[in-house]
Each structure stands twice: as structure tokens, then as C-alpha cells.
Amino acid sequence: METTTFGAIAAAGVAAGGIAVCFAGNGEGLLRPPGAADEADFRARCIKCGRCLEACPYQAIRMAKGPTGAETGTPVIDARAQACRLCADFPCIAACPTEALHPVSARDEVRMGCAVINRDLCIAVQGMRCEVCYRACPFIDSAIAIGASVREGDAIHAVFEPLIDPEKCVGCGLCVQRCVVSDPQVAIEIVRDYGEARRRIDEEQAKHVSNPWAG
């Protein structure tokens, strides 16, 4: 299938083989506010003071819940409920007394994580003109671009597939908040570890997703 990319993006490479991995949620899977480094660094510094929550004008930052465990009370972002809106002045980082949230020089320097699309669930991959994540992305045509290809079995229509560029995606999660698919799960998620995200993007790209409408 020939793919042409609109705009300048680094198209995701296609990995050979690959087995779908079930990615269970754990402390390392939690989406942290902007400025957080890896989970070990963050845990070592965060004193659960709640100032970042207070500072967030969008109430995107919440307290991690759970009956027990070290992560309880740490700040997390549930992107589906409210993504990080990448305030220009990062009030959450400014409020952090321990540099658990490290200073960030610009919005595009944030590295909260990287979006990964589940191509089996994404309706754009199946040929629907959706691309809601692409149009919602604060780095449109950069972090998410559209890869267009001719639709399988239908020479007069194109598939407009959102493609993530791990170099540019900051992991704000606005795409997750906006995604129209929720059943059985949201078709896009933020993976905090960029290496893991790249691996999964490659794996997704290697999948053949058939188009159930193709005649």
C-alpha cells in the first residue's frame, strides 16, 4: 500500500514481525505533569504537596488514587478526562518546590510521553474521515500528521491516517481526550517511555488492518 505523507514528518518505520504486547497499567504507566523525568526521578522528588494541582488552571492534574502504594497521592493526569493544555508559563512547574517537575524551556520541549494509536480501533485507518486527534493536536502537522494512501479495494477514496512523530509528540494527551472511540477502549493512548512508544508504533504499522467496507 503506497503511503504519502502530508507535511514534513518523520514517518514511522515499519518493524518486521512483532507480537502484540498487553500493556498493563502500573506506576510507570501513569501520565505525570509536564517536567517530570522518569518515574524513579519523579518519585524520589515528589513530596505529594499538591501545589501543582492547585496551580493547574484546567484541573488536569489529579491525585493518584488507590488503597495503598507509593503512588497514592502523587499528581497524575487522566488525559481522557482532561489533558494537559501546555500552558505557555507552566504554572504547575513553577509551583513545584522540589523540581519533581523540572523546568521546561518551551512547550515543544515537554516530554510527558508519546501517543500510540491502536490501528485496529482507529476509524480513520478504516477509511472514515475522522482524524479528530490530528486536528486537536497542539502540534498539528508536526507531532501528528496525516499519511494518505489509496483505500484498499476502492480506487476513488483515500485513507487519511494520523501518524505520530515520537520526535515531536510531547504527550499532552489532548488526542486521547478528543478520540471518538471508546469501545472497547480509546484508540489512542500516551505511552510514557519513548522507546516503548516507538516500538509499539512500529508494531502497529506492521499490522495489516483490513477495511471492512472495501468492495
Partner 1 sequence: MDVTRRDFVKASAIAAAMAAAGGSLAACASKSDAGQQGAGDTQTHTAVCRFCGCGCGVLVETKDGKVTAVTGDPDNQSNRGLNCVKGYYLGKILYGKDRLTTPLIRDDAGTKGTESGLREASWEEALELVSTKLRETWKKDKSRLAFWGSGQQPITEGYLTAKFWKAGLLSNNIDPNARMCMASAVVGFMNVFQTDEPAGCYEDFDNADVFITWGANMAEAHPMLYSRLTAHKLQNESVRHIDITTMKTRTSASADKVLLFRPGTDLAIANCVANYLIQNKKYDADFVRDHLQFKMGTENIGNAYEDGYDKSDLGKSVDKTTACTFEEYAARLADYTLEYTSELSGVSVEDLTDLCEVFADPDLRVMSLWTMGVNQHNRGTWMNHNLHNIHLLSGKYGKPGSTAFSLTGQPSACGTAREVGTFCHRLPADLVVANEAHRRYTEAVWNLPEGYLDEIKTPGYHTIKLFREMSKGNIDFLWSAHNNWAQSLPNLTRFLGEDGEHTGIFDTFIAVNEVYPTLTTQYADVVFPVAMWVEREGQFGNAERRTSVFEKAVEPVGDAKWDVWVLLEVARRVLEGETIDGEDAFTRLFGFIWDAEKDDFNGDSREVNRAIWEEYRTFSNPDLNERAAAINAEKKLKMEAKQLAPYDEYLAHHGLTWPVREVDGQWLPTKWRFSDGKQADGYDEVGIEMYGDKGLAGGMSWYKSADHKPSVVFRPYEPPAQEPSAEFPFWFCTGRLLEHWHTGTMTRRVEELDRALPEALLSMNADDAAALGVNDGDMVQLTSPHGTMQIKVSLAGRVEPPSGMVFAPFFAAETLINRVVQDYYCPLSKETDYKKTCVSIKKA
Grid coordinates given for 188: 489512542
Q: Does 62 bind partner 1 (CB under 8 A)?
A: yes
Could you say which DSSP state residue 113 is in?
A: -
Query: From residue 168 to residue 197, what is the string marking binding to partner 1 with x (rule CB under 8 A)?
Result: ---------xxxxxxx--------------
H or E element at residue 154: strand 154-164
Is the Cα torsion angle 61, 62, 66, 71 positive or negative in sign?
A: positive
Grid coordinates given for 112: 510527558
Q: Does 132 bind partner 1 (CB under 8 A)?
A: yes
The CA radius of gyration of the chain, in Å to the nearest whole number, is 18
Could you say which DSSP state residue 157 is in?
A: E
Q: Does 106 bind partner 1 (CB under 8 A)?
A: no
> Residue 189 or residue 203: which is nearer to partner 1 going by CB?
189
Find the part of the chain contacting partner 1 (CB under 8 A) among 18-26, 81-89, 162-170, 195-203. Answer: 81-89
Q: Does 6 bind partner 1 (CB under 8 A)?
A: yes
Residue 174: CB partners within 8 Å, gap ≥ 6? 79, 83, 84, 85, 136, 137, 138
> Residue 6 or residue 41: which is nearer to partner 1 going by CB?
6
For the bound state, the minimum distance from the C-beta of residue 147 to partner 1, rounded and expressed in Å, comes to 11
For the bound state, the minimum distance from the C-beta of residue 69 to partner 1, rounded and expressed in Å, comes to 12
Sheet holding 144-151, edge to edge: 3-5, 144-151, 154-164
Query: Would you tell me which residues interact with partner 1 (CB under 8 A)?
Result: 2, 4, 6-7, 50, 53-54, 56-57, 59, 61-63, 65-67, 72-73, 78, 80-81, 85-88, 123, 126-132, 135-138, 140-141, 146, 148-151, 154-158, 160, 177-183, 212-215
